[in-house]
A and B are shown apart, each in its own frame.
Chain A
Amino acid sequence: MKKVVVTGMGMISSLGLDLETNWANLISGKSGVKKITRFDTGDLSTQIAAEVSPEFEEFSRAYVKKRAASQMTRVTRMCLVAAKMAVTDSGIDFKNEDKTRCSVVIGVVNTGNSSVEKDTTTQNTVFKAMTNSMPAWISLEYQLQGPNFAVNTACASSAYAISMGCDLIRTNQADIVLVGGADSIINPEEIRGFNALYALSVANDPPEKASRPFSKDRDGFVIGEGAGVLVLESEPHALARKARIRAEIAGHALTSEGYNIMAPMGDGVGMARTMEAALRNSGVTPAEVGYINAHGTSTELNDRYETMAIKRVFGELARHVPVSSTKSMLGHTIGAAGAMEGIITVLSLQSGILPPTINYDNPDPDLDLDYIPNKAREKDIQAAISNSFGFGGHNATLVFKKYPT
């Protein structure tokens, strides 16, 4: 089975329109959460979110032609721009590649074709709503001809996409796979829906303090938006073109809880099973894991059960493994979260800097792991995992390893 490596990454979020800015803000502990600006929130319980800067509109024009842009939602454009930045980062020139061996797998929960998309016309409604539009546009950009599809497993969608892309390479169906996700549910309809489930934070003031994973006073997740795309390659393919290898994807696990449409399985049993399976799949032992990028949504149940699951898997080691939730800064980007957090995990391995859990001012006494409180930490690590758990019981854990330079 071929090793799978990461050779390119692109990211757009509330913390920046490129990878470098995102990373600088993440390790500075900056929050991207603000009052919502894209529509009037007067009658909503939740009035905050981690919005991508309005500057994206101008920024994206350098990447997406006007004609194509008119057929995409703002989120689809984010996905395409992130993909193009990832390809540039990888140094791949698709003119030199066998395009039948190049694939795209994108996690898509929805395309953001909501009431906030004011310029939707009858003629492009279908293109904007197609949930396969994001991988389709990426393949059109480079005329890629390998397997090309979207995967939807709620908040775990883009972690699933990374896993599926990894398996396409492992099973020799592709040499290069662009994987990732993009999402935005920052619209009145989705906010009302999640408010009805008591899933969202209503701590509107100050916005930047609302997302507080693992804290005693956490009161729900904060919506984020954005896109993250990674270029995966087989190791021999990357070495043959002398690519810069950012990290290895050592393995992954995808599981289903078969338990509840919203709540995770009690005591984190399903989450633990996913992490254990991923470590087995990757051949990495718990002792080798130097960092966990948690799903860490800032909801009562997720943070409690994820903590219990980590203890179940890591035993005595659990208190010594740094864990952080970057959702404390980026909010929960739903279908994009797995990809963004995968990217962050890779950057942690490369840089030896672990991003913090911000707003950790009031610890929950029941949750007693090392959550990298409030400040980034320097630590050279050899392996790290990233968790994603979705409504409906869709779980994914990705295992990354440092690649020797």
Chain B
Amino acid sequence: MARITENTKNEVREIVYSFFAEECEVDRSQINDNTNIIKDLDGDSLMFLELIEIFKKKYTLDIELKVIGKYAVKNPVATIGELIDMQLLIIEHEKRLLELEK
């Protein structure tokens, strides 16, 4: 279980904001934590998977995609802020993510 520091939070936020600005071809200043990924950015669900792969590599995470999938079904994300929070939970809890629901 990783400890989430301010530095980690800032890193994750930076990666997520940069990713959506680049992929959706929008100015970074137009994105905030309340930005809706589908409605405001014309994003898609695959972006979530791509970000997970980025974070799995960056933090050498021990978690299977199906675990994240099960968690995401019960805890769907719509905004950039919600996505960042979920990524932080994944980094913090890795394969024990589902234990959060017990």
Answer yes or no: are A and B bound together in one complex.
yes
Nearest-neighbour CB distance to chain A for B87, whole angstroms, equals 18
Cβ contact within 8 Å between A67 and B50: no
Nearest-neighbour CB distance to chain A for B69, whole angstroms, equals 15
Cβ contact within 8 Å between A66 and B46: no
Say which residue of B23, B43, B44, B47 sits within 8 Å of A66 (CB atoms): B23
**A67 neighbours in B (Cβ, 8 Å):** 23-25, 42-44, 47
Cβ contact within 8 Å between A65 and B46: no
**B49 near A: Cβ within 8 Å?**
yes
Q: Output the residue of A66, A67, A123 with the most chain B CB within 10 A.
A: A67
Cβ contact within 8 Å between B23 and A123: no
Nearest-neighbour CB distance to chain B for A127, whole angstroms, equals 9
Nearest-neighbour CB distance to chain B for A141, whole angstroms, equals 11
Report the bound CA distance from A123 to B45 in whole Å: 12
Cβ contact within 8 Å between B46 and A123: yes
**A66 neighbours in B (Cβ, 8 Å):** 23, 25
Nearest-neighbour CB distance to chain B for A15, whole angstroms, equals 30
* Residues of chain B from 15 to 72 with CB closer than 8 A to chain A in the complex: 23-25, 42-44, 46-47, 49-50
Report the bound CA distance from A308 to B42 in whole Å: 55
Cβ contact within 8 Å between A123 and B50: yes
**A65 neighbours in B (Cβ, 8 Å):** 24-25, 42
Report the bound CA distance from A123 to B43 in whole Å: 16
Nearest-neighbour CB distance to chain B for A204, whole angstroms, equals 41
Nearest-neighbour CB distance to chain A for B49, whole angstroms, equals 7
Report the bound CA distance from A123 to B50 in whole Å: 8
* Residues of chain A from 43 to 67 with CB closer than 8 A to chain B in the complex: 65-67
Report the bound CA distance from A67 to B42 in whole Å: 10
Nearest-neighbour CB distance to chain A for B4, whole angstroms, equals 27
**B24 neighbours in A (Cβ, 8 Å):** 65, 67
Say which residue of B25, B42, B49 sits within 8 Å of A123 (CB atoms): B49
Report the bound CA distance from A396 to B50 in whole Å: 44
**A123 neighbours in B (Cβ, 8 Å):** 46, 49-50
**B47 neighbours in A (Cβ, 8 Å):** 67
Report the bound CA distance from A65 to B23 in whole Å: 9
Report the bound CA distance from A67 to B26 in whole Å: 11
Nearest-neighbour CB distance to chain A for B17, whole angstroms, equals 16
Nearest-neighbour CB distance to chain A for B58, whole angstroms, equals 17
Q: Looking across the interface, which residue of chain A has its beta carbon closest to that of B22?
A: A66
Q: Looking across the interface, which residue of chain B has its beta carbon closest to that of A70?
A: B23
Report the bound CA distance from A123 to B49 in whole Å: 9
Report the bound CA distance from A215 to B46 in whole Å: 52
Report the bound CA distance from A123 to B44 in whole Å: 13
Q: Looking across the interface, which residue of chain A has its beta carbon closest to that of B41?
A: A67
Report the bound CA distance from A67 to B37 in whole Å: 13
**B25 neighbours in A (Cβ, 8 Å):** 65-67
Report the bound CA distance from A123 to B42 in whole Å: 19
Nearest-neighbour CB distance to chain B for A139, whole angstroms, equals 15
Report the bound CA distance from A67 to B45 in whole Å: 12
**B23 neighbours in A (Cβ, 8 Å):** 66-67
Report the bound CA distance from A67 to B47 in whole Å: 10
Q: Looking across the interface, which residue of chain A has its beta carbon closest to that of B46?
A: A123
Nearest-neighbour CB distance to chain B for A123, whole angstroms, equals 7
Report the bound CA distance from A211 to B23 in whole Å: 42
Q: Looking across the interface, which residue of chain B has its beta carbon closest to that of A71?
A: B46
Nearest-neighbour CB distance to chain A for B43, whole angstroms, equals 8
Nearest-neighbour CB distance to chain A for B11, whole angstroms, equals 23
Report the bound CA distance from A267 to B52 in whole Å: 61
Q: Looking across the interface, which residue of chain B has its beta carbon closest to that of A66?
A: B25
**B42 neighbours in A (Cβ, 8 Å):** 65, 67
Q: Looking across the interface, which residue of chain A has its beta carbon closest to that of B20?
A: A67
Report the bound CA distance from A65 to B42 in whole Å: 10
Report the bound CA distance from A66 to B42 in whole Å: 12
Report the bound CA distance from A66 to B26 in whole Å: 11
Report the bound CA distance from A70 to B76 in whole Å: 25
**B43 neighbours in A (Cβ, 8 Å):** 67
Nearest-neighbour CB distance to chain A for B71, whole angstroms, equals 21
Write 15 A-B pairs (CB below 8 A) sorted by A numbering: A65-B24, A65-B25, A65-B42, A66-B23, A66-B25, A67-B23, A67-B24, A67-B25, A67-B42, A67-B43, A67-B44, A67-B47, A123-B46, A123-B49, A123-B50
In addition to A66-B23, A67-B44, 5 A-B residue pairs with Cβ atoms within 8 Å of each other are A65-B24, A65-B42, A66-B25, A67-B25, A123-B46
Pick the 7 closest A-B CB pairs, nearest first: A67-B23, A66-B25, A67-B24, A65-B25, A123-B50, A66-B23, A123-B46
